[in-house]
Structures are given as structure tokens and as C-alpha cells.
Chains A and B, each alone.
Chain A
Amino acid sequence: MPQKYISVTRRTKMKRTSEDGQSKLPDNTALKQQQLPAYRLQLSATGVLSCFFATGVFCLGMGIILILSAKSIKEIEVLLSLLTFREFTKAFLFTVSSCIQDVGNCAPFSKSHDGTPIAPCGAIANSIFNDTIILSYKLNSSIPIKVPMLRSGITWWTDKYVKFQNPSSINLSSAFAGTTKPPCWAKPVYELDGEDPGNNGFLNDDFIVWMRTAAFPTFKKLYRRLNRIQYFIEGLPAGNYSFNITYNFPVTRFKGEKSVVLSTLTWSGGSSLFLGLVYTVTGAVTWLASFSMMAVHLTLKDRKVSNAEIPESLPFLTFHL
């Protein structure tokens, strides 16, 4: 028995040593020898220049198209009063995400003085824009026709059907029982829309639009869309219009300004001239750069030809910013 044992161990030992001897030689793989097939992409100056010209053409073209389309937008802006929404601060934003689900982060608008939780809580909800705007068209100088407006489709689908949800209950008022309305609201959340019972609670379109916080202090939010029926199939006909605005949202107190904008849309959305202008400028600058690069390159190229001292097979130095 012991002999057998010894022979076994010896064999394994030998095997191991032979393996050791081999394993010390590193594998000859492309990865380990740093010889992975690779593209050393080396191009001449001409390559860069042609790319630049192409980029310039693209940007210029895009800029002109954008400017033209922005110009085609018809916008009517009605100034109401000054609004500098300093809507956007950290404290404010924190409350957005948690206004429905969680009252923990809603300070200072999470609970009313008597301790009942506020629904919806938070500063943004509290500061909801609650003016009502009715646009009337004076067909003949006497009869104003209320321009039909759609309140649907002004929110993101995900906001309406995923993000905001009403508490499940038979009727909303019982669902919100035990909560109180935000201090600045006239009506509780379940009575926001008297006309459409489905447009109440957290699923109120105006509420949802408001809760999608703007990125900057000055912002536009969609109020209503034109319902293209009757007189308005072709859009708003020329004529006299009047706004009937219920002024609920005070902006004078914080030296704000608000306005109502009637606008058409283009393929690129209701964009401003900015994008088109910047595109045009970028395109122009790229072209300018290309020309100057070409000029510099050509002059230096000539100079180099005359400099015969430099041996031909000079190694190329890679460069790096």
C-alpha cells in the first residue's frame, strides 16, 4: 500500500513540474502580446479638411432650415403682468417627486397647522397656476364664440397614466378623507374640475402639467390645445378675439410676469430662433476654420518641401492635446 501511494504522488508531482515548466512561458495570444489586430487610423490633413467642409455644409443647411421654420411660426403673445418665476430651486424640486406618495419630503408643506396631512403636499403643488383662461372669437362684432379648447393631450402619457395615480377608492372625496388642501388652493384636490369628474384628484391635467417643473425661471407651459371643429377646422380664423381670464394666480407679489401665447407648431416644435442661429454660426465658423487651416497647411507644406535636411524616414511622433 505505501508503495502504491508513493508512486501515485510521484506521478502527480512530475506532472505538475512539467506543467510548471510550460506555464511559465506566457501564452502567445494577441491580447497578451499586445498585438490585437487594430486599426491605426492615420489620415492626412485632407481628410480633416474635407470632414470640416462637410460639417460646415451640414450645419449651415440645418441652420437655415431651422431659421426658416422658426420664422413660419405665428406667435401672438399677450402680456398679462410681470413674472419672474424663481420656480426652480432645490427645495422646490425635492417636493415634486414626493408630492403624491410620500409626505416625508414635502416640508414645509406637508402638514397643515392642525397636523392633518396636506394632499398634494409640497411647495410646487401649493403654488399651482390656477388662472382660468377662456378665449372667445368675435365672429361678428357682437357674438363672441367660445373657442373650443381641448384639455386632453397636454400632458405626457407617462405622467398621466403611470406617474400620477389616484388612491384607489370608489369616490375621490372619501379617498382623500383625512387630508386637507394645500393652503393656497381654493378647492380640495378632488374637486379641481367641476365639469369632468375624471379630471380630478392627482389626475387633473392642469395639475400634472404644473407638476412637470420647468428647467429655468422663465418658462412656457401648455394650457390648452385648439379643438379643430366648426369654425376652427382650419385653425383660428382672422378676427377679433378676447380673453376672459380669472386672475387667481398673483404674480405681482413677487414681481413676476405672465403672458398668454397663442402659437402654431412646426416639425421641430415650437422652437425659437436660437437653434437655427447657432447652427448657422457653427456652420460658418467651421467653414472659416477649414479655409484658414487649409491656408496654413499649404503654406507650411511648401516650407517643408524646401527643408531638405530632414531625413525621409523620420519616425512619426504621435501627438496629443
Chain B
Amino acid sequence: MFCSEKKSLEVERIVKANDREYNEKFQYADNRIHTSKYSILTFLPINLFEQFQKVANAYFLFLLLLQLIPEISSLTWFTTIVPLVLVITMTAVKDATDDYFRHKSDNQVNNRLSEVLLDSKLQNEKWMNVKVGDIIKLENNQFVAADLLLLSSSEPHGLCYIETAELDGETNLKVRHALSVTSELGADFSRLAKFDGIVVCEAPNNKLDKFTGVLSWKDSKHSLNNENIILRGCILRNTSWCFGMVIFAGPDTKLMQNSGKTKFKRTSIDRLMNTLVLWIFGFLVCLGIILAIGNSIWENQVGDQFRTFLFWNEGKKNSLFSGFLTFWSYIIILNTVVPISLYVSMEVIRLGHSYFINWDRKMYYSGKSTPAEARTTTLNEELGQIEYVFSDKTGTLTQNIMTFKKCSINGKIYGEVRDDMGQKTDITKKNEPVDFSVNPQADRTFQFFDHRLMESVKLGDSKVYEFLRLLALCHTVMSEENSAGQLIYQVQSPDEGALVTAARNFGFIFKSRTPETITVEELGTLVTYQLLAFLDFNNIRKRMSVIVRNPEGQIKLYSKGADTILFEKLHPSNEDLLTLTTDHLSEFAGEGLRTLAIAYRDLDDKYFKEWHQMLEDANALMDERDERIAGLYEEIERDLMLLGATAVEDKLQEGVIETITSLSLANIKIWVLTGDKQETAINIGYACNMLTDDMNDVFIIAGNTAVEVREELRKAKENLFGQNRSSSNGHVVFEKQQLELDSVVEETITGDYALVINGHSLAHALESDVKNDLLELACMCKTVVCCRVTPLQKAQVVELVKNCRNAVTLAIGDGANDVSMIKSAHIGVGISGQEGLQAVLASDYSFAQFRYLQRLLLVHGRWSYFRMCKFLCYFFYKNFAFTLVHFWFGFFCGFSAQTVYDQWFITLFNIVYTSLPVLAMGIFDQPLTGRGSTSNISQWDFLKRICQCSSWDPIQQVQGHPTSRKGNLVCPLSSCLCCFFFGCFCSTPGPPVSSVDVSDQSSMDYPQLYEPGQLNLLFNKRKFFICMAHGIYTSLALFFIPYGAFHNVAGEDGQHIADYQSFAVTMATSLVIVVSVQIALDTSYWTVINHVFIWGSVATYFSILFTMHSNGIFGMFPNQFPFVGNARHSLTQKCIWLVILLTTVASVVPVVVLRFLKMDLCPTLSDRIRQRQKAQKKARPLRSRRPQTRRSSSRRSGYAFAHQEGYGELITSGKNMRAKNPPLTSGLEKTLYNSTSWIENFCKKTTDTVSSFSQDKTVKL
């Protein structure tokens, strides 16, 4: 708060270099960051204040205060304060631990060291001690400590490279450069220490891509922009050192300004609970009013007589006032309808579920030794209700590893593994990879299984040589030697890296480059090619070429690019090869590989010189320059000779296809939101079977203006509805059924559709009027792929679905660019084990592999939801049964707010007597999802045991298989009932359930089981009313059966049994037994813990009862325990036990009957939907639905997927070459480009994506 006040005052920032005194007067924040909330002193007041802001806590505090008023106090203070203190303490401890870890991580960051130039010397300073205006030195691969103005660097022209993954998720390097005046300072400490420039710039803000300021130094002013600034959170790359001056520090840095507060997420059950609690409170007030009116009437009519009876001569009491007091008294008494222990129990259950996620070995990734982690403990049941999954691509679906898989050279395919019969087989561990050990420079990680290629190389196949030479020459890779003398490639796009590495391993090793030359070690001999021209990649050309002169003096053009483009440029003589290669390409594409076509052209000297002259002329032109150059490129890239094609695998993470298939079966829609190009995105879509050639249509929205986008959307929709109408006519049989179900399930579209939309169109489509069209279309498509989207757009898409569809969303990603979507989705999942931690830190759950999502949702999510719903149903039931007895009693005690039970019983009922069984159910229960025969087998033993007590034949049941299915559905209930009456008392436990019938496996095998969660079937308002009715019924039975039985009776020995205390004990005992039987019926998965807790709770009740009614404790605290001797007297009476038994039977039997009939008469909606699905899809278990590995595929080719335009320019200009590689003597290229303009060109191109991001942002702001 303090800071923000100060900040609001800051209009512009003035910083003087190397002058701490001068800067101090502005009181800029230093570089220390605080993400922690409390300190030791402020913890208690702030935390308590926060906690009592929660409605529930405030409500209980209010009750506590009410109880302190003697006139209306109907319960003793400890009934509320004990649970309240417990809750507050638990939460406080949790908050404190969280904050402790924040302190720890803050400290860790604050104590990082950086080199600061102080007193003309470099000194190590902790980050937190770095001040605005300081000059600090950064070294390669270091994190930037604060927002810096770049002064000088090791690279020429004051360039430095940074990786901004932490900020925007982009992994490619970005270039920043120092002002030329400051870059001259170099690493000269004395000059740097004397640097006294004053920067006047904007105030701290969160715009990552904008900076405006002016540097005044030596009487001249230099304007500063974003290109001169390195932001905190970036990592310095490929730059051995640089110096920077701190402009913004600590909380003022753009990184910190961007780390908005994490939104507090709540589950839909939480929100439902809030509504329900309000309703209950309303109900409570109603009851209170009824009782208060009753009290007024009673006071008015009978009160007098009563006082007469008491010889209480105090005159008439005001009946209205008495009613008013009674109202509050009853509010206190009846408050247990929403007991505080409900909230505690929910937290405990969620915590338990979170631990199960953390402990799950099946979600542990041994590759990076990363277990899954539930970072939030409050959202678990929401995992069982997910309808939409938004997934990032790179690093989430894919490993972001490109591997050279196959190639086709001169019509011959390499990379396939064939068995002895000559049939293609899958690569298994048996296959031996090609041995590259002869080649000392080979990359050890590269594996290739087809030995024929190596043989061809050894045989000296010239086409193969040319192919590999091309791969080694035509790229934008930079080479570097590390300290061990190993060759390291700096790649802009991993595709290229894969190709160059492949060439390297097969003996064509790209060694180094200068602006004018490329040196390649060809099978052991160094060959230096002269680089004559570099025809750079761009989105339209979809290809890149180099023109080189080999040592023999031949000029060659090497080109690689998208097959569709390149094949048009081939020389007619290539026709035969073209057909062959096209077949190969289709095959590659069918396997989901990323393909490139490879071609070359021999040029003669004269032609090239003419062409080059024209290029130079074109470059000199002021207008139409780009068009002219493009034309010239077209001109020379023709009559190409096809060499072949490459196939690179963008390695999907393991199990992605299965996971996606399974989640789709669970009716979860998966949208891919990626920053990648359309081609890449579509390619991956095909690779993960999200897009298939069987699809009816794939709509691609790629309009550039709002009108275009709208038109495209409209067309797509028309197309979709049109097709659907015609196709659905054929399904007359299902029509009626469909009509019925469609009111609930919205997807009326038969056939699969997919939507691909790019970021540019998305920006228009997200505008308010088109938004609904987009959403409608997208939701009817099976697959949605959004490409080229900015982080902000990712979040917008998530928000759109979240708000307009009211659906539960999950976002999964690995990079910093996914943070916004992770934060805005209901559930955010981070892929951990990667370098950047940003996504994980912002996420609610994290694990190392995308495939674990299946288990997280289908097993943990489904179970959590199931358990939580069961828990809530039971809890509401229990408390209604417990509390409403007071309402009925009110009519028999003059509405005097007398409690039915002992005060101790009221205190302990929810927290001791009944808490553990329901907790055990909430934590350990597992839905019964047996798989046909296996589950029946598990019933056998039990059935047999039951048969010893009753007399029917279980064999009949099991054998009559499909018919007995319904019977099985009734199982949990019936079984428990039987168990209660027969099994548990008269038989010994049988062998445990066979390991085949594991519930989690069936959850995975039948993803359809996930559906009840999405449809919100297990706990909703209707369910709540059912529970409430159940509770009310039980309370009636609990009260009126003992009432009738106690009316005018005497005990066995003629003594009292109808006294208040005996009545209280009878009711309490009945209640405990009834709710225990009920939990026994509800528990479907009886572990040892359930047994211990359920039997233990009943035992605890009796032992506490007898203890509290014992002579000893009465002797010690006669006032607190007035029920002395009661348990002993009451519970030895047969009559009382008969009452208890009758109450139990009367409470339980109708419930069982209703459930039985319900299952027989009206199976749930999810049953029906499932049946329809089954009937339509003839669903088989997932295992038999393995995705096909081969498809008859339309050919797809995309070039240089992660490639960026502009690197060609950078390479030929030589600006990014190290000083130690001095440019060779002048070549043709020197004059190719105007050297001053390249930086601007480059920056313009690299910031393309960023600027579109900023536009969105400003529009939004």
C-alpha cells in the first residue's frame, strides 16, 4: 500500500549513473523483493483479519458473541469456541507455512550475488543491495538482476543476446544493443565508473515491450527505447559479458509489475456451498421465527400458569420480547445445520486428495525424477468436472526435441527399419542404431536405425553426398566450440538443428561460418565454401536458399522448403523422381513427421553475376525494394533439381495420443493454444490424432480484417449446419432418443469437425459481436487449434469459454507464456521439470508429462469429485438429522430453547463422534466401477458368506450376467446393509479384492465414467434438497419414536426412564447409531481405516458417554457433568435399546427402499447418455481403440516451423560474428546490405509478435 501510494506520485523517473546520493533523494525502491504477506509481528492481526473476512468464520464469530449474552445463551460457549479456535489455528498454521516458504524463496532471490561497480571496482553485492543507478556487470547465462540500460557488451556494436522465456515464454534469442556512445566504454572500469549520464524515463509500468527515455550525457541527449533495455528475469546468452545501469529495481521492475496477484480460485462446489449456506441460513431464520412466534403465544397463554406452577410471582412477562430472545436462542441452537466442522473437514479431505496426487507413483516421471505436485490444496474436486482443456503445444504436447527420422534421397527412402522379410517394422530396442563412433565429431545423442544410409555414404553415392552437403550448408545455424573442444550448434529453429546434426553424423560436419564463407568438414577434409548469397526464409516463400561457390569454382544454389512450393520450381526432368518423392512425403506426413523438400541448382558464373547485379540494384531502390528482391529470388530459384526430402519428428511426449483419445472419450474438449505457426500447429494436431483425415471438415480461419474473419466464421457455420442437417436425416432411428437427450447434451452435431484459427484472426474474433459466433462454432468442433496466439490471447480464449459457456476449464502449459492462461483457467497445470519455472509457479498442479493429465482427471479428479459430493451429501444429512430434533422438541418444551442433548454431546458430535467415518469416506472411498465379470468374482466370497446366514443362491445371480447388472448397481447399498445385519457380525473377512479389479484402472479404461462430474450430477441443489429431506425425516424418526415410547412409561424396575436426561441419552445414542449405519451404507470402499473409524466412532461415543456419566468425573466437576449415572441406568434398560433399534430401522429402511427403486425405475441421466453413446459408437474398451499409426494422409509440409525471418540478414552482415572470427577479405556480400539498417530490420522483424501482443494489450487497457 505504501509503495503504491508512492508510485502513483511518480510521473517520470530520473536516474543518475554511479551516484547513489543523488538517486536517494527520489526514494526509489531498491532491488529487494517481497512476495511474502506477513512478518512475525504483523502475522497475527493481519491473518486474523483476513480469516474473519470469510463469511463462514464471521458467522461463527457472530454466534460466539451471541452466546455470550446470558439472556439468549442456549448453548455453553465451548460448543462454538472449540471448533472455531481449531479452524482458525489450522488455517493460520497453513498460512504461516506458506508464507515461510515465500520468505525463503524471497531470501534466496534477494541473496543472489551480482557484480556491482563500486568505487571503480567490481564488488559482489547481494541482489537486494543493488540500487537504482548502479552499474552492474552480467556474465553469460546469468539472470538479469534488475531492469538495466545496456551500456556495453563483449559483442561488437554493443550487442547482447537475451532469452526472455521467463517473461514471454519465447525461447528464441533476442538481440539488445547499447547506444553507440556507451558501447565505447567497453569493459573499462575507470571509464564506466566515471560515467555520469542521467536517464529520464517513464515511471515503472508493466509494459514489457515498451520503454521510452532519454539519456543525457556529455551535453548531448540520446533517446532510449526498448531495444536498449534488458529486463529482470531475462537470461544473458551468447554474450560473455555486458554492463548495464539499473533503471528499475525490485518491485519497480517490469517483471514484478507484471506478476499480478494470483487470483484466488474457488471450486464450483465452493460457490454452490456459499449459495446453500445462504439458503440454510434463510431456513434457519424461518425456523427461528416459527419457534419465536410459538414462544410468544406460549408465553401469552400458558406462561402465566407455568409461573404459577413454579410459584414464581413475578408478574407477566412481555411475550413479544420473550419471543425475540427465543429467536436468537434458537439461532444459536440450530446453528449446527452448518457446522464449522464442515469447512474443516472439506479442507482436510482436499488436503488428503492432494497428498494422494503427490504420492502417486504413476504420475512420477523418473526421467527427471519429478513427482506430480498438487500446489493448491483447495481445487481437487474441480478436477472431476473439467469440460475444456486448453493445452500449450511446445513442451507440453511435444518434447520440443526435433529428431531427424527419415529421408528420401533420389527416390530411395532411408530411415525405415525392415525385418528379414522386408516388411517395415517398428523400431524396437532390438534394433541396433548406426554406429557413429568412427566420426569423432558425431553427436552422441543422435540415433539412426537404418544402416543403409551409412553404407551409401561409404559407397560414395554422389546424390547422398549432395543431399548431406546441402543440409550442412543451407541453414542459419551458428557453430561454437566449447571448452572441451566439442562442436556446439546455436540454432534458431530446432528443425534446422536436427538436419545439421544429421549431416554432421553422416560425415558432413558444419564447422564454422563467416559472413562470406561456410566451412564444412566433408568426410574428414575441410572444405570452405564461399557464401555468395543468402535467400532468406519468409512466410510467403516458405523456403530458404544459399548460393555458394565450392572450391572447384562451381556456383550452386541449395534450397530447402515446403514441398508444395518447391515442387513448382523443379526442372521438368524431375518428373519421375517427383512422383516417387511425393509418395515418400505422403508417407512421412502420414506418420506425423515434419517434411522438407530439398533441391539444388547449378548456376553458371555469368548468369549469377547478372542476377547479382540486379539484386544490388534492387537493394539500392527506395521504393518497391522488397517486391523487386522477392521477384529476383523467384527468378533464380527455378529449374531446381530435386534431391529428396527430409522428415523430422517433432517428438511428441510419451502417451500424448492415448491421453488425448482418452480425454475425448471422457467428453473433455481439448483446445490447443500455441504461439507456433499454423503449419506446425496443424501438423501436431495430426500427430496427436486431434485432427484426422476422417474428419468431415477442418475450418481454417485466417482472415486479416474483422470483416473477413466474420465472413469466414459465418461460412464455416453454414457449412457445418448444412452438412449436419443432411447427415442427421439418415439417423431416424436415433432421432427420438436424440431429441430427448439433446435438451441436456448440447452436441447435436454428428461428424467430426475441427477449427484452426490464427492469432490475428482471433484478435478480431474475440471482439464482442463476433465472439459468440466463434464460441458457437468452436464448441461444435471436436478439435480447436489456435496458432500464433499471444499469452494474453490464450487467457482471453480461456476466459471466453469460462464465462460464456460456464464450463470448468483447465489450462496446461510449460512456459512463461502460458502463465496468463494458467492463472485464468479454473485449474492451471504446469509441466514441471523444464528449465523455466514460471508456469509451474503459477499453476495449481504440476507434473512432468502431459500424459499424467489423464490420470489426474480421470482418476484423481473423478474420485475427488465423487468423494467430495458423497461427503457433502452425508454431512448435510447428518446435521439436519442432528439439529432439527431441537425444532420438534421446541413444541414440547414451551419453545424455551432447551437443547435436547447434553451440551457435551452437542460439542463433540460433529468433531468427535461422527467426524472420522465421514472423513475416511471422503478421503478413501472409491467409486465402484467394476468391470463385468471381474467385479462379480469379487462378490463371490462375500455372497457365499452371506449365504451362510441367509438362504439363497449366489450362483444364479452371477451367472445371469447382463440381467444381474442392475442388481449390481444397487450393490453398495445392499451390500452394506447386508453387511450390517449379517456379514460384519457373523462372518470373518474373506480374501482381498483381486488386483485386476482396481478401481483406478477402470476409471482409465472407461473415460465415460467421468461424465457425471461434468454434468454436475453428484451434488447439486436437487441433491441438497434430497439430503435435507432425508435429514428431516431422520430427525422426525429420532424424536417422535422415543417420544411416543417414553410417553407415560416407567422403567423395568418402575424407576424413571422418561426423565429428560434419559431421553437425551436415548436420542443421542440413536442418532450416533443411525448416522453410523448410514455412513456404513454410503461407504462403498471399506478399507481397514473405514472399519476402524466407523466402529471406533461408535465405541468412542460409548466410552465418552460412560466416562462423562461416571461418578469420578462428576466428583471432580459436578457442574459440568450433571448427567451422572445416566448412561448406566438408561442403557441397561431393554426398553431403551428397543427404542434405539426401532429408530434405526425406521430411519434406514425407507432410504434403502427409495434408492433401490430409484435405480430400478429411473436410472440416472448419465446411464442413459452412456447407453446412447455405446449404442452409437459401439464403444469398445479403450485398449482396443489404439490410434492407428498410419493414415491415408493428405500431404502436408511446413517449412522451418520455429524459424524466424531475418537471421539470414544477420548472418550475411556478419554483425553477430565474434571478433575472434575476423571477417575475411571483402566478398561480394559486403555491399549487399546497408549495414546500418540491418539492426532496425532485424528488430522490426523479431518484435513482430511482441507488437501484436502490445496492441491487444493497449486495446484492452
- A residues touching B (Cβ–Cβ < 8 Å)? 21, 24-28, 32-48, 50-52, 54-55, 59, 62, 66, 84-93, 96-98, 101-102, 108-109, 123, 126-127, 153-159, 162-163, 183-184, 209, 212-222, 225, 253-256, 263, 265, 267-272, 274-275, 278-279, 282, 285-286, 289, 293, 296-297, 300-301, 304-305, 309-321
Q: Which listed residue, A85, A154, A184, touches B1055 by the CB 8 Å rule?
A: A154
Is A24's CB under 8 angstroms from B1043's CB?
no
Given A26-B361, A41-B971: A46 touches B1052 (CB 8 Å cut-off): no
Is A89's CB under 8 angstroms from B894's CB?
yes
Considering the complex, which residues of chain B in the window 258-317 have a beta carbon less than 8 Å from any beta carbon of chain A? 302, 305-306, 308-312, 314
Is B1087's CB under 8 angstroms from A313's CB?
no
A320 to B663, CA, bound (A): 24
Is B312's CB under 8 angstroms from A88's CB?
no
Q: Taking A216-B1046, A274-B1044 as given, write out 4 further A-B residue pairs in contact, using a Cβ cutoff of 8 Å, ordered by the A residue number.
A: A47-B974, A269-B1133, A282-B1149, A304-B962
Residue numbers in A under 8 Å from B1057 (CB-CB): 269
Is A321's CB under 8 angstroms from B1111's CB?
no
Is B896's CB under 8 angstroms from A89's CB?
yes
Is A156's CB under 8 angstroms from B1055's CB?
yes
Q: Which listed residue, B309, B928, B1086, B1119, touches A316 by the CB 8 Å rule?
A: B928
Quick one: closest A residue to B309, CB to CB? A254
Residue numbers in A under 8 Å from B1145 (CB-CB): 55, 59, 282, 286
Is A39's CB under 8 angstroms from B989's CB?
yes
Q: Which listed residue, A62, A254, A293, touches B305 by the CB 8 Å rule?
A: A254
Is A296's CB under 8 angstroms from B1157's CB?
yes
Count the A-B residue pairs with Cβ separation under 8 angstroms: how many? 433
Is A24's CB under 8 angstroms from B964's CB?
no
Residue numbers in A under 8 Å from B1161 (CB-CB): 296, 300
* 12 A-B pairs with C-beta separation under 8 A: A38-B1087, A43-B970, A101-B1119, A126-B311, A157-B1125, A256-B309, A275-B1044, A279-B1138, A304-B963, A315-B931, A316-B968, A319-B1164
Q: Which listed residue, A42, A101, A272, A282, touches B1142 by the CB 8 Å rule?
A: A282
B1114 at the interface (CB under 8 A from A): yes
B86 at the interface (CB under 8 A from A): no
A78 to B888, CA, bound (A): 31
Is B310's CB under 8 angstroms from A289's CB?
no
Residue numbers in B under 8 Å from A289 (CB-CB): 1149-1150, 1153
A289 to B1145, CA, bound (A): 13
Residue numbers in A under 8 Å from B366 (CB-CB): 25
Shortest Cβ distance from A27 into chain B, in angstroms? 7
B1128 at the interface (CB under 8 A from A): yes
Shortest Cβ distance from A102 into chain B, in angstroms? 6
Shortest Cβ distance from A263 into chain B, in angstroms? 7
Quick one: closest B residue to A315, CB to CB? B1006
Q: Which listed residue, B961, B1084, B1139, touches A275 by the CB 8 Å rule?
A: B1139
Is A270's CB under 8 angstroms from B892's CB?
no
Residue numbers in A under 8 Å from B1090 (CB-CB): 38
Is A318's CB under 8 angstroms from B928's CB?
yes
A55 to B1141, CA, bound (A): 11
Is A274's CB under 8 angstroms from B364's CB?
no
Quick one: closest A residue to B1059, CB to CB? A212
B435 at the interface (CB under 8 A from A): no
Considering the complex, which residues of chain B in the window 690-738 have a beta carbon less than 8 Å from any beta carbon of chain A? none
Total residues of chain B contacting the partner, CB 8 A: 166
Residue numbers in B under 8 Å from A314 (CB-CB): 932, 965, 1170-1171, 1174
Q: Which listed residue, A43, A85, A87, touches B943 by the CB 8 Å rule?
A: A43
Q: Which listed residue, B927, B974, B1027, B1064, touches A51 by the CB 8 Å rule?
A: B974
Residue numbers in B under 8 Å from A24 (CB-CB): 364, 369-371
Given A41-B1084, A59-B1145, A269-B1133: A274 touches B992 (CB 8 Å cut-off): no
Q: Which listed residue, A42, A97, A221, A272, touches B928 by the CB 8 Å rule?
A: A42
Is A47's CB under 8 angstroms from B946's CB?
yes
Residue numbers in A under 8 Å from B311 (CB-CB): 126-127, 183-184
Is A33's CB under 8 angstroms from B361's CB?
yes
Is A40's CB under 8 angstroms from B981's CB?
no
Residue numbers in B under 8 Å from A32 (CB-CB): 355-356, 359-360
Residue numbers in A under 8 Å from B964 (CB-CB): 44
Considering the complex, which residues of chain B in the window 1037-1093 have a beta carbon less than 8 Å from any beta carbon of chain A? 1041, 1043-1064, 1082, 1084-1090
A274 to B1049, CA, bound (A): 10
Is A86's CB under 8 angstroms from B1000's CB?
no
| Interface 1/0 per residue, B343-372 and A, CB below 8 Å | 000000000000110111110101001110
Q: Which listed residue, A36, A275, A318, touches B972 by the CB 8 Å rule?
A: A318
Is A44's CB under 8 angstroms from B971's CB?
yes
Q: Which listed residue, B946, B977, B1058, B1178, touches A219 by the CB 8 Å rule?
A: B1058
Is B966's CB under 8 angstroms from A41's CB?
no
Residue numbers in B under 8 Å from A102 (CB-CB): 1119
Residue numbers in B under 8 Å from A46 (CB-CB): 952, 957, 967
Is B361's CB under 8 angstroms from A25's CB?
yes
A221 to B926, CA, bound (A): 52
Is B993's CB under 8 angstroms from A313's CB?
no
Quick one: closest A residue to B1023, CB to CB? A321
Is A126's CB under 8 angstroms from B1062's CB?
no
Residue numbers in A under 8 Å from B1043 (CB-CB): 216
Residue numbers in B under 8 Å from A279 (CB-CB): 1138, 1142
Is B312's CB under 8 angstroms from A108's CB?
yes
Q: Which listed residue, A33, A86, A317, touches B894 by the CB 8 Å rule?
A: A86
Given A45-B967, A255-B305, A300-B1160: A222 touches B1119 (CB 8 Å cut-off): no
Question: Which of B205-213, B641-649, B934-942 faces chain A?
Answer: B934-942
A194 to B970, CA, bound (A): 69
Is B1009's CB under 8 angstroms from A37's CB?
no
Centre residue among A126, A304, A309, A317 by max chain B CB count within 10 A: A317
B1152 at the interface (CB under 8 A from A): yes
| Interface 1/0 per residue, B1121-1141 and A, CB below 8 Å | 010111011000111001100
Is A317's CB under 8 angstroms from B892's CB?
no
B979 at the interface (CB under 8 A from A): yes
Given A215-B1059, A254-B309: A313 touches B1049 (CB 8 Å cut-off): no
